[in-house]
């Protein structure tokens, strides 16, 4: 007869405390005391068949049945307790999750309002304070009871989503209030108006909505407060560029020998005077901006859903030209590493493109990593050339890039001729469907000559499609 493990305790409890001699000799049942014989066989209870007490089959069967009934009743009681514990936990968890979701939604709304210029900055500040208060009053996360899975995924997901929303709201509020303080602190400087060609009734106050100081300005600013942080050096070259620029024995050889001689002979025929410092610098900046944008990865990104249109790319090219020019000037005085400021902006995944564009690399589809890698490699080539052959040769090299790939880029000597042609075509077009920024032709011409991205991506896209700009 098989005795299940769950019945062992019940059987042991039924055994007599002091067995009789016949029970010890396996002659009588140790449970009911009946003698064993032909009709009532002995079932040894161990520890081995030859020794120890034995019981009869009817007694043991009854004890096993009693033990099974007790076990099943205990399991039912435990299952009911687990069910009650689970229901109670779900109620507590759902209430806590609802609190998290409410704060998350509030954070999302505060982030959106922070970007709304119609909401006063002081109101944004109070919304931020009340949001932080709601976040502080969220109680500690409840602990589930023992039978419940400790990894409660709905609770963890709600906590993660709320945390992300709070981070986004804090960033939006900080951005709005920082620029509000900067703009409020600006003195009225009427002399700025001539440079910006403001209307006659302008007060001289020009609010700013985006400032990019580059990757290094914060270290210099902190020095004014006595805080010194060692700046990281220039990023190492990729393996491919490292192999390309690997120095041989002794002094590293020039990358492009006789570049100066070739430039003097070729660039003037391409419309660039290498002997004119400002012309050469502008052409080099246009070449570096073109090298960052004119490539196959960007073509694939533009073709994918959500990619930038022609107006976005044109405005970004103008903005990168300015940044490239500034970075090249900084590199002349501070070394090739200063070009990192251009790389940081051109490859930024979250920075919206110029001209009021909503496009960001992070939100795009396509070979984003290849696009960023191309920028890093192109800037790396210019940095290495600057180290080996000097600042002017680096400009000459990028001027060649502009001459062959960006002849009509903003900042190039031929740009005024491009603007004349665009304005002639624009004057002959039906502009009823054109963006409002293209209504005043004189203002359009001025913007194209001085800063096309001021027209905005919608107007630039329309000019690209209808007036063959770019």
Q: Residue 228 has what pLDDT?
A: 77
**By the 8 A CB rule, do 135 and 193 touch?**
no
What sign results for the dihedral spanned by CA atoms 381, 383, 389, 391?
positive
Assign 203 a pLDDT band (cuts: 50, 70, 90).
low
Q: What contacts 409, CB < 8 A, 6 or more positions away?
A: 286, 289, 290, 317, 321, 402, 415
Please report which confidence band the pLDDT of residue 198 belongs to, taking 50, 70 and 90 as the band edges: low
The percentage of the chain sitting over the pLDDT mark of 90, rounded to a whole number, equals: 34
Instruction: Tell me which of 195 and 42 has the higher pLDDT.
Output: 42
User: Would you place residue 323 in the very low, low, confident or very high pLDDT band (cuts 50, 70, 90)?
Assistant: very high
pLDDT at 441: 92
Q: Which residue has the higher pLDDT, 237 or 35?
A: 35
Residue 203, C-beta contacts closer than 8 angstroms, at least 6 positions apart:
188
pLDDT, position 447? 92
Maximum pairwise Cα distance, the chain: 126
Q: Inform me whether the pLDDT recorded for 424 exceeds 70.
A: yes
8 Å CB contact between 277 and 406? no
3-state SS string for the chain: CCCCHHHHHHHHHHCCCCCCHHHHCCCECCCCCCECCCCCCEEECCCECCECCEEEHHHHHHHHHHHHHHHHHHHHHHHHHHHHHHHHHHHHHHHHHHHHHHHHHHHHHHHHHHCCCCCCHHHHHHHHHHHHHHHHCCCCCCCCCCCCCCCCHHHHHHHHHHHHHHHHHHHHHHHHHHHHHHHHHCCCCCCHHHHHCCCCCCCCCCCCCCCCCCCCHHHHHHHCCCCCCCCCCCCCCCHHHHHHCCCCCCCCCCCCCCHHHHHHHHHHHHCCCCCCHHHHHHHHHHHHHHHHHCCHHHHHHHHCCCCCCHHHHHHHHHHHHHHHHHHHHHHHHHCHHHHHHHHHHHCCCCCCCCCCCCCCCCCCCCCHHHHHHHHHHHHHHHHHHHHHHCHHHHHHHHHHHHHHHCCCCCCCCCHHHHHHHHHHHHHCCCCCCCCHHHCCHHHHHHHHHHCHHHHCHHHHHHHHHHCCCC
**In the predicted model, is pLDDT for residue 188 greater than 70?**
no
| Cβ–Cβ under 8 Å, residues 58 and 1 | no
Least confident range from 177-181, 248-252, 277-281: namely: 248-252
Q: Confidence band (pLDDT; 50, 70, 90) for 250?
A: low
**Locus of tokens 């080539």:** 381
Return the pLDDT at 383: 92
pLDDT above 80 (res 79)? no
pLDDT band at 442 (very low <50, low <70, confident <90, very high): very high
Indicate if the pLDDT at residue 293 is higher than 80: yes
What is the rounded CA–CA span in Å between residue 362 and residue 357? Answer: 14
Model pTM?
0.51
Cβ contact 358:461 at 8 Å: no
pLDDT of residue 47: 67
pLDDT tens digits for range 230-248? 766 555 656 665 555 555 5
pLDDT tens digits, residue range 39-58? 788 888 776 656 667 888 88
- State residue 55's pLDDT score: 86
């Amino acid at each position: 007869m098989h005795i299940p493990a769950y019945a062992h305790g019940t059987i042991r409890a039924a055994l007599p405390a002091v067995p009789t001699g016949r029970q010890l000799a396996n002659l009588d049942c140790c449970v009911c005391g009946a003698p064993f014989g032909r009709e009532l066989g002995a079932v040894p209870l161990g520890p081995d068949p030859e020794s120890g007490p034995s019981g009869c089959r009817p007694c043991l069967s009854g004890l096993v049945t009693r033990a099974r009934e007790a076990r099943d009743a205990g399991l039912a009681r435990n299952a009911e307790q687990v069910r009650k514990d689970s229901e109670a936990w779900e109620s507590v968890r759902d209430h806590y999750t609802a609190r998290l979701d409410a704060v998350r939604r509030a954070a999302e709304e505060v982030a959106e309002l922070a970007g709304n210029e119609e909401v006063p900055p002081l109101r944004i500040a109070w919304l931020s304070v009340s949001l932080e208060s709601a976040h502080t009053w969220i109680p500690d996360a409840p602990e589930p009871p023992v039978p419940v899975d400790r990894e409660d995924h709905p609770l963890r997901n709600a906590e993660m989503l709320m945390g992300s929303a709070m981070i986004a709201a804090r960033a939006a509020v900080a951005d709005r209030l920082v620029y509000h303080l900067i703009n409020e602190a600006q003195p009225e400087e009427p002399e700025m108006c001539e440079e910006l060609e403001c209307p006659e009734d302008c007060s001289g106050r020009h609010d700013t909505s985006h400032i990019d100081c580059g990757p290094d300005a914060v270290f210099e600013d902190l020095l004014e407060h006595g805080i010194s942080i060692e700046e990281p050096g220039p990023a190492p070259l990729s393996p491919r560029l490292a192999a390309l620029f690997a120095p041989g024995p002794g002094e590293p050889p020039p990358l492009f020998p006789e570049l100066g001689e070739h430039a003097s002979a070729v660039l003037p025929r391409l419309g660039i005077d290498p002997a004119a410092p400002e012309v050469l610098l502008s052409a080099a900046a246009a070449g570096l901006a073109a090298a960052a944008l004119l490539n196959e990865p960007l073509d694939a990104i533009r073709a994918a859903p959500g990619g930038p249109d022609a107006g976005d790319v044109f405005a970004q090219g103008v903005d990168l030209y300015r940044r490239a020019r500034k970075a090249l000037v900084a590199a002349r005085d501070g070394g090739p590493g200063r070009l990192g400021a251009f790389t940081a902006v051109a490859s930024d995944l979250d920075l919206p493109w110029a001209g009021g564009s909503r496009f960001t690399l992070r939100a795009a589809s396509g070979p984003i990593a290849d696009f960023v890698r191309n920028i890093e490699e192109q800037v790396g080539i210019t940095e290495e050339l600057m180290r080996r052959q000097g600042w002017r040769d680096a400009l000459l090299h990028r001027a060649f890039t502009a001459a062959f790939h960006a002849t009509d880029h903003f900042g190039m000597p031929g740009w005024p001729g491009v603007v004349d042609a665009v304005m002639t075509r624009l004057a002959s077009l039906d502009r009823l469907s054109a963006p409002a920024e293209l209504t005043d032709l004189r203002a359009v011409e001025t913007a194209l000559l001085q800063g096309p991205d001021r027209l905005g991506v919608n107007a630039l896209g329309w000019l690209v499609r209808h007036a063959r700009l770019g």
